[in-house]
Amino acid sequence: MSSSTESKIAMAKTVVSTIGSVAAAAMVVRSVSRDYLPSEFQDYLYFGFRSFINKFSTQLTMVIYEFEGFQENEIYIATELYLAARISPQIHRMKITKHTSEKNITVAMETNEEVTDVYNGVKFKWCLLSNKAPTREYYPNDGMIGTSRSDIRMLELTFHRKHKDLALNEYLPFILNDSKTMKQEVKSVKLFTVDPMMMHSNSPTMWAPVNLDHPSTFATLAMDTDVKEKVMKDLDRFSDVADSLR
């Protein structure tokens, strides 16, 4: 074996050994920080270590926040629905909800869980994160201003950076279209009312949705047949126009 080959093997062993040492140290730091350090300091260590690793990584991460100012992020909402149907059996934690007016149980990702999705042979890893942020709220009854903490939720999409164009031009548009189809299948009519407790706060959820459920249908509605048909046709036309404007 030539000296050049031996040198390369020695260098490779050194690199592997260094990576192993760093990984072991990271595991120890992570375990200790979870048990003894405040959550804010844990976040600081986590993001600092991740920034260091990212300098040597071929991976690219896209961050998708739930809200952009006071506006809901359409990509976040669509992805949340899309991933709910693709949760792996190996996942450890899931969020389960069911409203009294809904028939089915809703399954979603829980914070700090990961889901791997494959699109056109490319692996995309999703992770749901949540940060606590202080907010100031005004209570009109007693004129007091209080401070609370709200969740800032975000989805992180990680993949090899060479697939960036695929993610932006094909994968994310595919998720948006797929979620629209699923929404149509479970579509329910909602009324939106203002939550008086949130009117003077900085919360983006000032409007609260309420399902509009009623046992009456057009089949049971007491109305002249011709008039009923005209009303139904008008509603269908209105629905088609509304869908085309979205």
Model pTM score: 0.52
Nearest-angstrom CA–CA distance, 137 and 198: 8
Q: Which amino acid is at 182?
A: M
- pLDDT tens string, the chain, 246 residues long: the values are 566 666 666 666 665 566 656 656 666 666 666 666 666 666 666 666 666 666 677 889 999 998 888 788 999 999 988 988 887 777 777 777 777 766 777 777 788 888 899 999 999 999 998 887 666 555 555 555 555 556 788 999 999 999 999 999 999 999 999 988 877 766 555 656 666 655 555 555 556 666 656 666 777 777 788 888 888 888 888 877 766 665
Cα–Cα distance between 245 and 88 in angstroms, integer? 36
Q: Provide the pLDDT for residue 210.
A: 62
Is the CB of residue 179 less than 8 Å from the CB of residue 75?
no
135, 202 Cβ separation under 8 angstroms? yes
Q: Do 85 and 63 meet the contact criterion of CB atoms below 8 Å apart?
A: no
Quickly list DSSP for 148-209.
Answer: EEEEEEEEEEEEEGGGHHHIIIIIHHHHHHHHHHHHHHT---EEEEE-GGGTTS--S--EEE
Per residue in 190-201, pLDDT (tens digit) is 656 666 655 555
Q: Cβ(177)–Cβ(152) under 8 Å?
A: no
Rounded to the nearest 5°, which phi and psi values hold at 95? -95, 125
Residue 75 confidence (pLDDT):
93
Strand partners, 154: 65, 129
Phi and psi angles of residue 21, each rounded to the nearest 5 degrees, phi first: -65, -45
**Structure tokens given for 87:** 């949760």
Rounded alpha-carbon distances, angstroms, from residue 136 to 117, 200, 235: 38, 9, 43
